[in-house]
Every structure is written in C-alpha cells, then in structure tokens.
Amino acid sequence: MATLEIKDLHVSVVSEDAPKEILKGVDLTIKAGETHAIMGPNGSGKSTLSYAIAGHPKYTITSGTVTLDGEDVLEMTVDERARAGLFLAMQYPVEVPGVSMSNFLRTAATAVRGEAPALRHWVKEVKGAMADLDIDPAFAERSVNEGFSGGEKKRHEILQLGLLQPKIAILDETDSGLDVDALRVVSEGVNRYKASGEVGVMLITHYTRILKYIEPDFVHVFANGRIVESGGRELADVLESEGYVKYTGKTEAAALS
Amino acid sequence: MAALSTKPHSHGAVAPVTSRAEHFTSYDVNAFEVPGGREEIWRFTPLKRLAGLHSGAAATGSAAVEVNAAEGVTVETVGRDDERLGKAGVPGDRVAAQAYSSFENATIVTLPGDVKSEPTTVTVTGAGVDAVAYGHIQVKASQFAEGTVILDFRGSGAYADNIEFLVADGAHLTVITIHDWADDAVHVSQHHVKLGRDATIKHTVVTLGGNVVRVTPVVQYAGRGGDAELFGLYFADAGQHQEHRPFIDHAQAKCRSNVVYKGALQGEGAHAVWIGDVLIRVAAEGTETFELNRNLILTDGARADSVPNLEIETGEIEGAGHASATGRFDDEQLFYLQARGIPEDQARRLVVRGFFQELIAKIAVPEVRERLEAAIEAELEAVGT
C-alpha cells in the first residue's frame, strides 16, 4: 500500500531578483486506491506542488518533507523519484527532437522496470496501449511530442502512465485544452490505470468537468500556496456553482458556463 | 572584407567591399597578404596555432593518400602541372593558395558516367607530429554518374589542401568528409564544388578530431538545375577549434541549395565557428536556398560563433532563408526524460543523439553512420562527468 505524505511543504522559485515563496505549508497524504482532486484558481500554486514533488530544478524546497512509503523523496534525483513510483503527467509536455516516441517509451520502461521488456511482448503492449487511447500507431516513429497537438500530447502522457505503472500519479491539468472526445478518452485511460491496481492519484485541475469522468474520493481547495479546505465529492459541486470567490476574494469560475 | 580594401582585386575594384561577390581569389599565394588576424575571413581563426600554414611554412613532409576505389572508379596520381587541375574553383584565401602553390602530387578520382558506383574511400594520413604538408585531391563525377566518395582524414601534423568536386551534367555525387585527426593536427581545407546542369551534390562534413580544423566549402553552379545539399556535423572538445565556412554562389537560374550544420561543444576552450555565406546573383532567378546552423553547448567554457550571411541581388527567386541558434543544453528536456525514470547521463545522450539524428539519418553509408554514432557516444562519455 503506497503512501505519499506531504508535510508542511514550503517551496520557493528563484525569480529575477529575490526568491519568491509559492507553497506556504502544504499538508496532504495520498494513499493507494485514493483519488484526490486538487482544485484552485490560477496562480494558487497547484502546478508548483506537482513540479516540486517531481523534483524540477527551478523550485527550491525551503522546509517540509515529502515521503513515499517512508522514503525521503526530496533526497532523490528526478529519475530516482520516477523509479521509486512517482509519475507526473505534465501540463506542458516537453518536445525532444530526434528521439522517437518508441525509443523513449522503451528506454523509460527499461529504467522504471529495472530490465528491458521482452521485445515481442513490449511491441504488443505499446500497440494495445496506443489503441486504447486512440493514438495512431504512426506516432511511435515521431519525435517525442514534436509537433503534437495539445490533445495528442495529453494522450501520450496517459500512455506513459499506463506503461510505467507508477504507485502515485500526479496529473497536472491533464484536462486543460482537451475537447470533449479527448477528455473522455484521456479520462478512460486514467480510470483503466486506476482499475489496474492499488494506485494513488493526485488530480490537479482548475475546472470540475474532468471530475464527471474521474471520480474523486477527496477534493481539496488550493489557494495562496496551501490547502484551505478539504472535503468529499460534494465540495466540487459547491465550487462548480460558487467558484473560487470565497477563497480569493475575486470572481473566478470553476465551471465552464 | 577588411583585407581586401588595401589592395586591388583581380578585376580592378579598390573600394572597400562587403559583398561576398567581391571576395578575392587567386592561385598564387603571393597575391595574398599574410593575414594578421583582424581580417574578416580570419578573425575567428587562431593563427598562432596554424603552424605557419598562413605565413609561408614550407612542406617538411607529405601526407599519405590511399584510395580504396570501387569497381569502375579510376584513381590517378598526377603532377602539379596536370592541366585538369584547378578547374572547380580558385583558392579563396592565403592558406588555400599556399596549398595550391605547394603541393607536389595530386590525386584524381573519377567516377564513371551513366552508372551507379559503390562507395570509394580516400584516406589521407597526416605527415606526422610537427610536420607540414600540402595536398590536392580532385573528385570527378562524369556525366550521369552516381556514387559516393568518402574522404577520411587521420593522423598528425599540419596540413592544407584544396579538394575539387567536379560534378558533370546530370551526375549525382555524394561526399562525406570525416576529420578524425589526432589531437595535435591542424587542417585548413578549401573545397571547390562545381555543379553542371541538373547535377546534384550531397556534401557532408564531419569534424571530430584535431587541434584546429578549418573547412571552407565553396559551391558554384555551371548550369541551371543544380542542387547542393551541404550538411555538417561537428563535436568540439576542450581546446579544439572547429571552423566551417560554407559559401554558396548562386550565379545560375533555377538552382537550389540547402545548408544544415549542427554542432555540439563541451569543455574549456572548445570553439566552433560557422560562417554561412549565400550569394544570389542577378542571373540566379528562381533560386531556392536555405541555410541553418545549430549549436548545442554542453558545458561551461565552450563557445560557438555563428554568422549566416544572405545576399540577394534579384527579387525573382523561389525562396531564401537562414536560421542560426546556439543554445545551452535544454534542462526542460532533461527534466522530462528524467521524470520518466531515465538516469541523467542516459537522458543527456538521448538528447544529443536526437540533436544529431536528422543529419546522421541522411548518411546513406551504413558503416559511416555507425562510425559516427560510435564517435558521438565516445564524445558523450566525457559529458557531464
């Protein structure tokens, strides 16, 4: 039973002159089998939380702890975190010219699984996973994310999620920029991954619409660098009708009207 | 060009000029002044490290030229007075003129017309540590010939040469030049490409080894329909100077050129210079050209200079463009790959290999491709350690 435990996490980003504190004491525990929706207005620090957990060099942890099954995540390099079972589906997946998707997927799977997957099974596995996400097989020979549309990039993030089978998945605004069909396909992919084992999901989103497809067990409202309210599914419904005004003092909708 | 303002040109112009069209050329070394380092065409080159190639150093040895010729390809060793020599172009700087004035024997490799030949390899081995040598090679692709010539430079010493590529009407020549010199070597080379009507050349320069390597490929068109693809791939390590100065001279209508050079640099004092000149003369209507240079800086202490120059004297062209970019290693790419569990050193290799992939994929000779991939791997072993 995997557990990701975040305690009193403070994170700064080095901007042009002085470091700026973005996370101001985040406490959150995610256990295998649970789906936590983190909802908040733009600029509240949601994405910073995901990048800090994944180990992006731009962010500095000033205090607090992050552990995965008791292991100190913050002591690990970025790749060690991934191999320990953390996965971040990025809001803006990065293009890597000249590296084919198939080479990238196989290299990643080899690293995470600790051995190269047997070629025959692997080819079948990737083909099946791509078909599940309505990804044209031709993408396997294209450079990683290069020239992909927003929706294609997100599908490939979820493809990696399914192939790398992490213990804890952080989905950073995976729903942003997706049309209805793509949102459905991507959500089904996440649900398949959830159904495949005891896994924990941190679902970061601005809008409630993805929660119609992916059922959250917990909903947390994120504002000004911390979690300001937690509840169940019903909290999302409140956000849907009332927006974030209560937390930010300004009107910002959580639903697409 | 600064050096040219002080002396008359072959055609009498004396005013200071900046156009590449006015670039001075001569077979005679004495027609050039000894460069001092401030001249436009020499300002990036470390003259002190040229072993006197620019200031009249006499030959103290000779480079060994070995040709492994494909069936049907003829190889001749000829004296400097052979009248077939010097037809593809005229030396454009003092070192090229010095080489032209100094070589004793030239090698002429001729690809037979109307047939497709297997690859021919010319291996040039330097005269040895502290030795100075000059050379001359001519590669001729006869009418409708199709074939590949690999020029492989190895060994030690200082070496200057002119290499002619005469591509007859309708011929298709592929050239791969590999500078895989020892650490001490200095090589200053001018390539002269002359393309006949509807002739094509795919010209790839690979620079890996050597203390100083400076290559100036010049392309001229003798008829319409010519097509030149110039690719370059270089990897500069600590203390290495690698300079590539392609010049495409569009003087005929309906010709095409495409220049893509990519380099990676690492280590203290690694220096890459790329000067890409394209001139579209008035007569060159319907020209289509593009040039691109990309540099990937892997460590502190390395430096890349990249200058694309595009001169257009007619508006009646298909298209012309250039692009140049020099960047640090992209940390976002590294983060993305690492976030998928790939260790940092492996991630770096993937990114650099990916950077060169576009060019390596264009090399049609599998052995050369494999050798390059292995060479890049070997270079990368030292990265980030």
Chain A CB contacts of B357 under 8 Å are 97-99
Q: Does residue A142 fall inside a structural domain? A: no
- Is A89 part of any domain? yes
């270079």: which residue's tokens?
Answer: B379
CA-nearest residue to A113 within chain B is B341
Strand partners, A214: none
Inform me whether the C-beta atom of residue A70 falls under 8 Å from chain B C-beta atoms: no
Q: CA of B294, closest CA in chain A: separation in Å?
A: 13
| The two structure tokens encoding residue B102 | 């100094």
* Record: contact A79-B341, CB cut-off 8 A: yes
Domain membership flag for residue A116: no
Using a CB-CB cut-off of 8 Å, the residues of chain A touching B292 are none
CB contact, 8 Å: B373 with chain A?
A: no
Q: What is the CB-side half-sphere exposure of residue A71 using CA atoms within 13 A?
A: 14
Cβ count near B218 (within 10 Å): 23
On whether residue A195 sits in a domain, the answer given is yes
Query: What is the spatial distance between Cα B175 and Cα A201, in angstroms, rounded to a whole number?
Result: 55
Q: Cβ distance A164 to A112 under 8 Å?
A: yes
B335 and A94 within 8 Å at the Cβ level: the answer is yes
A157: nearest Cα among A203, A88, A58: A88
A193-229 pLDDT, tens digit each: 999 888 999 999 999 999 999 999 999 999 999 999 9
Q: Which chain A residues are Cβ-neighbours of B340 within 8 angstroms?
A: 79, 82, 104, 108, 111-112, 160, 164
CATH number of the domain where residue A89 is located:
3.40.50.300
CA dist A215 and B279 (Å) reads 63
Residue A115 located in a structural domain:
no
Asked whether the beta carbons of residue A143 and residue B354 sit closer than 8 angstroms, the reply is yes
Structural domain contains residue A46: yes
How far does the CA of residue A181 sit from the closest CA of chain B (Å)?
26
A188: which residues sit within 8 A by CB, 6+ positions away? Answer: A132, A213
Residues in B touching A87 (Cβ below 8 Å): 339
> How many other C-beta atoms can be found within 10 angstroms of the C-beta atom of residue B367?
11
CB contact under 8 A, A82 and B338: yes
pLDDT tens series, chain B, 385 aa: 333 333 333 333 333 346 888 889 999 999 999 999 999 999 999 999 999 999 999 999 999 999 999 999 999 999 999 999 999 999 999 999 999 999 999 999 999 999 999 999 999 999 999 999 999 999 999 999 999 999 999 999 999 999 999 999 999 999 999 999 999 999 999 999 999 999 999 999 999 999 999 999 999 999 999 999 999 999 999 999 999 999 999 999 999 999 999 999 999 999 999 999 999 999 999 999 999 999 999 999 999 999 999 999 999 999 999 999 998 888 899 999 999 999 999 999 899 999 999 899 999 899 999 999 999 888 888 754 4
Q: Which domain holds residue A60?
A: 3-97+151-157+166-248
B339–chain A Cβ distance below 8 A for any pair = yes
Indicate whether this model's pTM tops 0.95: no
Residues of chain B with C-beta less than 8 angstroms from the C-beta of A88:
339
CA distances from B294 to A167, B117, B229 (A): 40, 33, 16
Is some CB atom of chain A closer than 8 A to the CB atom of B325? no
- Per domain, the residue ranges of chain B are 2-328, 330-385
Chain B closest CA to A157's CA: distance in Å? 10
- Total structural domains in chain A? 1
Q: Do A104 and B351 touch (CB under 8 A)?
A: no
Tell me, yes or no, whether A253 lies in a domain.
no
Residue A192 lies in a domain: yes
CA distance linking residue B378 with residue B359, whole number of Å: 18
ipTM: 0.95
